[in-house]
């Protein structure tokens, strides 16, 4: 079992999974970092985009990489509605209320998807030639997923580092009151951040549809991976999300191959529990 080919393949699989985890975790981390709101419905944004790409491909034969782009404006509309109607009212609310309100939203969106499209597992049959390096093989769609993920990270780095609004986002995340006192329009920052997170998750939705099944509760399963990543990396840290996703993705792949496929589901929960209990600030966070 312990051959380098298997090990290499496992790590590559882990990285491919991490690229999806990053898409959901970036949304969670951005929203939490700026607004201190944990959005449990982040996974449902992903699920809806996955369905969107699935249907566009199945009904009209639209290329998923085209619909990946088309899902962005669609998700912004939904994201803005959710922000105005729900998220904005949860600013500063009790933890438990935030948690349950966004959980309610998640359930609603899942229910709507199930009502419209049933709970069936669906597959988007889109294949690209796979990439082979030595004995390690990676499906073409996964290779592109990793590329898309890197592009999103590059965009985010540019946005947060080199634009005015990006600077305001970072200022608000580091000290909301201070940013307000310096004249930052924190409401605009909130909306921008939330929409940015929504759009990233929507891109992730199409990525997900290409490598996994599409069904109404697919996002609910992913949100807990997102929690594990965000907690591991330190709530609200972007660098933490990157490292956290890779650690989770690769660890799961390792456990899957070398221990038991059943127990790989345990990794995310174990990470959440152990990290919270032993190092609540995560790997990259500072002590609070």
* Residues of this chain that bind other proteins (CB under 8 A): 38, 86, 89, 93-101, 103-112, 114-115, 119, 224, 227, 231, 260, 262-263, 265-266, 268-270, 272-273, 276-277, 280
Q: How far is CA 248 from CA 24, 32, 101, 149, in A?
A: 13, 20, 27, 16
- Select 158 or 273, whichever has its Cβ closest to other proteins: 273
Q: 136: part of which helix (H) or strand (E)?
A: strand 136-138
Nearer to other proteins, 78 or 86 (CB): 86
d(CA 247, CA 232): 9
| Residue closer to other proteins (CB basis): 73 or 280 | 280
Looking up tokens 């609200």 gives 236
Kindly state the helix (H) or strand (E) to which residue 133 belongs, with its residue range. strand 131-133
Q: Which is nearer to other proteins, 130 or 261 (CB)?
A: 261
Beta bridge partners of 138: 131
To other proteins, the closest distance from the beta carbon of 212 in angstroms equals 19
H helical segments located in the chain: 4-35, 42-60, 64-85, 95-117, 140-162, 164-174, 176-181, 186-211, 218-233, 238-258, 264-278
CB 114, min distance to other proteins, A: 4
Least Å distance between CB 33 and other proteins?
14
CB of 115 to other proteins, least distance (A): 4
**What gap in Å lies between CA 252 and CA 255, rounded to an integer?**
5
Closest CB to other proteins among residues 1, 96:
96
Residue 214: which of 57, 40, 95 has the closest Cα?
A: 57
User: What is the closest distance, in whole angstroms, from the C-beta atom of residue 85 to other proteins in the complex?
Assistant: 8
């Amino acid at each position: 079992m312990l051959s380098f080919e298997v090990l290499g393949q496992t790590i590559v699989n882990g990285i491919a999974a991490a690229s999806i985890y990053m898409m959901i975790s970036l949304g969670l981390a951005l929203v939490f970092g700026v607004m201190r709101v944990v959005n449990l419905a982040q996974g449902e944004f992903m699920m809806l985009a996955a369905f969107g790409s699935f249907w566009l491909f199945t009904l009209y034969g639209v290329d998923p990489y085209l619909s990946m782009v088309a899902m962005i404006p669609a998700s912004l509309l939904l994201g803005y509605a959710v922000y105005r109607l729900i998220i904005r009212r949860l600013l500063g609310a009790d933890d438990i209320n935030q948690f349950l309100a966004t959980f309610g939203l998640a359930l609603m969106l899942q229910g709507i998807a199930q009502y419209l499209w049933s709970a069936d597992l669906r597959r988007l049959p889109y294949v690209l030639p796979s990439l082979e390096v030595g004995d390690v093989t990676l499906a073409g769609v996964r290779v592109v997923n990793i590329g898309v993920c890197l592009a999103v990270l590059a965009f985010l780095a540019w946005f947060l580092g080199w634009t005015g609004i990006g600077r305001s986002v970072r200022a608000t995340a580091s000290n909301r009151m201070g940013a307000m006192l310096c004249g930052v329009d924190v409401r605009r920052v909130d909306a921008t951040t939330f929409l940015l997170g929504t759009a990233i998750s929507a891109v992730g939705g199409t990525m997900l549809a290409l490598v996994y099944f599409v069904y109404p509760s697919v996002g609910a399963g992913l949100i807990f991976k997102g929690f594990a990543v965000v907690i591991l990396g330190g709530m609200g840290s972007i660098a933490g999300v990157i490292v956290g996703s890779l650690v989770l993705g690769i660890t799961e792949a390792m456990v899957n191959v070398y221990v038991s496929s059943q127990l790989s589901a345990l990794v995310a929960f174990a990470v959440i529990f152990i990290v919270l209990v032993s190092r609540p600030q995560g790997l990259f966070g500072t002590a609070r």
